[in-house]
A and B are shown apart, each in its own frame.
Chain A
């Protein structure tokens, strides 16, 4: 499918292309013909200009230039411009000539044609030399030298370039340099005939300037040989000028006069002023040397006149150029000034912009810093606030915890305390008994002592339950005031108490119990303003019962202590009995000890002590 389309478009393109081509063929053909004819036409005009320097050629040259422009043959256009410039130059319009040269230069620059560029530069060089502006002429020559490298190895232009070089040297008065250049070119002798003749003419000129008229004559002879059929008016004239000079230097004054006068005739309707002046000078010199002072004076005057005209022409053109240069310089100066001002303004604008940018940047920075600072402060505040809240919470929690702990403790205390006597209760014992039992090696022992108030029922009965309660309270008070700090009092039952004395010897325990017994006996129990006599009985057992041996647990120990209490009660009360140890070599188990306590005491297998020996003995 796509292939089909491609073919279709190709055909379409071909068709329209053909159409367009066939339409334009007729005009193109015509133009091509004109384009091809132009160079030939140019050559004809060039020859005509060089031969006659006839002003009548100007319209033809101008139309040629326009024609060339119309068919875009720039090379011919430039050369036509150069020919017009040459004519204008010859007739003293240096300014117009310079403008035309400049136009030709622009074209040559555009074409980048080294040959054409050189031709234009040479034309400008001719103009500069006429105005004795050698520095400028040399500058152009330098440009030409650079372009020379681009020329083909054999080129007619090279001879022409050297011809102009020698002309500059000649006009500058550097005759040896002029000769040097000319000799190098003449020796090549591959130059075009016209150029070769011009080279020889230049050489003859230089030789005459050096006073070497014989050699100059030789060159003139050579020129005559090569120059047969030359139609160039100007060349013919120059040759005559030189010949007259040669005759003059050789002292052949009559020949000089005849030649010069003949030549002078041909200058009258032309603008060859320089040659005219030279001829007049030669004539004046010649007449003076044949002592015809009248004619000498006449020609000298004419020479002065021509020279003055020439100088005026040069001066005017130089002045014009100076003025132009001055204007240009002034414009340039103004331009530079404006440029400088602009630059300064631009710099100022840049500076302002920079300043604004800097301010904006600073502002942005400040804003950023402020924002960051606020964020930071806010963060810090937030952190501080949250920390504070946390602290408060923690504090509250701690307080609550403390409170709770206190409550717990209070609760615990409450749960462990007997409300009436403010002593511990049985619950305390069950919870904390382990803390009071001897640990590890049983080197120390704990005394478990059961205390019972004697005849308490009678007190209750006699004085009332309130009095009983008071007794119980006072009883515990006395008890607590007598025991050691670490000892614990537990209300075991109605009027029964358990005293736990950790870390104590049997003897010390006995002493404390005795002191308790005595303190109770002596204490003034008062209820309802009546003194009540109160005693108590004590039964105690150490745990462990035997050193280093755990035979009874604490409950069994209390059971054994209870038995001891029973013995004390039975023995008459207000006494204490303690089962303090077993005979070492006998093996006992707990059961047998608790079952056969009485027998074991009797058999003295179980050691028992009392404040009343009789109780033990009475068993």
Chain B
């Protein structure tokens, strides 16, 4: 079922693009579990990618993935790629992540990646200028809304709290290791981690700030709120990666960097990150509990 969907999407993309342009399309790989095609199309709502200049969420659920897909395309176009761009959903990664990129079977990924995760593959991958710079990415410590006593915990009380974290999410893992929180390690779906918070197995978990007005997160009718006035910054930068082995790799990478520079320059990136809630202005004044990782000399 999933596979047939994927082919229909690919075929449709090819069909549309071949109608408008004579050139072969540029294929961007997207991991199937992160295939947000439906919401992506909804967000575009018939507009072309270049036309998008308001990044406020119009659909429910995670929004950053869609914004990244749009920013990537805008950058590529601005960088001089004049081919039609299509997304190619792929099943989950092999033993070695990014192996298709390394081998040159894939050209580029739709999503940005943590720098830390591709360190060993720098020899095989072009790493773009950061989409999210070091220190920009902030997240909240979400607790079950009914646990009122946790809502206004202070920084110095955090050592009494447990937080669930996935050691494979290295950046989250590192960030939390530099707080007073006691970490409960868990490898598994995000939803299960949320369930652990819900059932008081742990007190809290690190989640991107919600775009909702109250920062409240509603997941399957269960409500979660961030601990007031406390935030965690994720100590890494996020980048797009392009295959070095792919014949178009170099050109695409150069175009991408050029485009990203333009987007950065004209403030589109910042606007997109802010409007999509990725950089949440509501928590600007909140205390960053692992700030020492960003400003080492500071007491």
- Which residues in B have their C-beta under 8 angstroms from that of A209? 116, 119
| Interfacial residues of chain A within 165-222, with CB under 8 A of chain B in the complex | 172-177, 179-181, 208-209, 211, 213
Are A251 and B292 in contact, CB atoms less than 8 angstroms apart?
A: no
- Which residues in B have their C-beta under 8 angstroms from that of A297? 95
Are B122 and A251 in contact, CB atoms less than 8 angstroms apart?
A: yes
Are B124 and A289 in contact, CB atoms less than 8 angstroms apart?
A: yes
Chain B proximity of A314: nearest CB distance (Å):
13
- Chain B, residues 265-297, CB within 8 Å of chain A (1/0): the string is 000000000000000000000000010111111
Supposing A172-B177, A211-B115, A288-B102 touch, asked if A177 and B296 sit within 8 A by C-beta, the answer is yes
Chain B proximity of A275: nearest CB distance (Å):
16
Chain B proximity of A149: nearest CB distance (Å):
17
- Chain B, residues 103-120, CB within 8 Å of chain A (1/0): the string is 100000000000110011
Are A134 and B177 in contact, CB atoms less than 8 angstroms apart?
A: yes
- Please, which residue of chain B has its CB at the minimum distance from the CB of A169? B296
19 contacts between A and B (CB under 8 A): A174-B290, A174-B292, A175-B235, A177-B293, A179-B296, A209-B119, A211-B115, A211-B122, A211-B127, A213-B122, A248-B123, A249-B122, A251-B122, A251-B244, A282-B120, A284-B96, A288-B102, A289-B102, A289-B124
Q: How large is the interface on B (under 10, 10 to 19, 20 to 34, 35 or more residues)?
A: 20 to 34
- Please, which residue of chain A has its CB at the minimum distance from the CB of B180? A135
- Which residues in A have their C-beta under 8 angstroms from that of B235? 173-176
Chain A proximity of B196: nearest CB distance (Å):
21
Are B95 and A285 in contact, CB atoms less than 8 angstroms apart?
A: no
Q: Does A406 reach chain B (CB closer than 8 Å)?
A: no
**Interface centre among A174, A249, A289, A291, by most B CB within 10 Å?**
A289
- Which residues in A have their C-beta under 8 angstroms from that of B116? 209
- Which residues in B have their C-beta under 8 angstroms from that of A211? 115, 119, 122, 127
**In the complex, what distance in Å separates the CA atom of A152 from the CA atom of B178?**
32
- Which residues in A have their C-beta under 8 angstroms from that of B120? 248-249, 281-282, 285
Are A289 and B121 in contact, CB atoms less than 8 angstroms apart?
A: yes
- Please, which residue of chain B has its CB at the minimum distance from the CB of A251? B123
- Which residues in A have their C-beta under 8 angstroms from that of B103? 291
Q: Does A253 reach chain B (CB closer than 8 Å)?
A: yes
Are A251 and B177 in contact, CB atoms less than 8 angstroms apart?
A: no
Q: Does A516 reach chain B (CB closer than 8 Å)?
A: no
Q: Does A64 reach chain B (CB closer than 8 Å)?
A: no
Are A249 and B123 in contact, CB atoms less than 8 angstroms apart?
A: yes
Are A174 and B293 in contact, CB atoms less than 8 angstroms apart?
A: yes
Number of A-B residue pairs with CB-CB distance less than 8 Å in the complex they form? 72
Q: Does A300 reach chain B (CB closer than 8 Å)?
A: yes
- Please, which residue of chain B has its CB at the minimum distance from the CB of A171? B177
Q: How large is the interface on A (under 10, 10 to 19, 20 to 34, 35 or more residues)?
A: 20 to 34
- Which residues in A have their C-beta under 8 angstroms from that of B296? 174, 176-177, 179-181
5 new A-B contacts, CB < 8 A, other than A173-B175, A174-B235, A251-B123, are A172-B178, A173-B170, A177-B293, A213-B122, A249-B119
Are B123 and A173 in contact, CB atoms less than 8 angstroms apart?
A: no
**Interface centre among B175, B290, B296, by most A CB within 10 Å?**
B296
- Which residues in B have their C-beta under 8 angstroms from that of A546? none
- Please, which residue of chain A has its CB at the minimum distance from the CB of B99? A288
Give which listed residue, B95, B115, B121, B297, contacts A300 with CB less than 8 A: B95
Q: Does A252 reach chain B (CB closer than 8 Å)?
A: yes
Q: Does B36 reach chain A (CB closer than 8 Å)?
A: no
Are A174 and B174 in contact, CB atoms less than 8 angstroms apart?
A: yes
Supposing A211-B115, A288-B102, A300-B95 touch, asked if A177 and B292 sit within 8 A by C-beta, the answer is yes
Q: Does B173 reach chain A (CB closer than 8 Å)?
A: yes
Are B174 and A176 in contact, CB atoms less than 8 angstroms apart?
A: no
**In the complex, what distance in Å separates the CA atom of A208 from the CA atom of B116?**
10
**In the complex, what distance in Å separates the CA atom of A248 from the CA atom of B177?**
27
Q: Does A250 reach chain B (CB closer than 8 Å)?
A: yes
- Chain A, residues 9-35, CB within 8 Å of chain B (1/0): the string is 000000000000000000000000000
| Interfacial residues of chain A within 130-154, with CB under 8 A of chain B in the complex | 134
**In the complex, what distance in Å separates the CA atom of A281 from the CA atom of B297?**
33
- Which residues in B have their C-beta under 8 angstroms from that of A173? 170, 173-175, 177-178, 235
Are A172 and B123 in contact, CB atoms less than 8 angstroms apart?
A: no
Q: Does A296 reach chain B (CB closer than 8 Å)?
A: yes
- Please, which residue of chain A has its CB at the minimum distance from the CB of B297? A180
Chain B proximity of A178: nearest CB distance (Å):
8
- Which residues in B have their C-beta under 8 angstroms from that of A208? 119
Chain B proximity of A42: nearest CB distance (Å):
36
- Which residues in A have their C-beta under 8 angstroms from that of B127? 211
- Please, which residue of chain A has its CB at the minimum distance from the CB of B96? A288
Chain A proximity of B26: nearest CB distance (Å):
24
- Please, which residue of chain A has its CB at the minimum distance from the CB of B170? A173
- Which residues in B have their C-beta under 8 angstroms from that of A300? 95-96
Are B123 and A250 in contact, CB atoms less than 8 angstroms apart?
A: yes
Give which listed residue, B119, B123, B173, contacts A253 with CB less than 8 A: B123
**In the complex, what distance in Å separates the CA atom of A208 from the CA atom of B174?**
16
Are B294 and A176 in contact, CB atoms less than 8 angstroms apart?
A: yes
Top-5 shortest CB links A-B: A251-B123, A173-B174, A180-B296, A177-B296, A285-B120
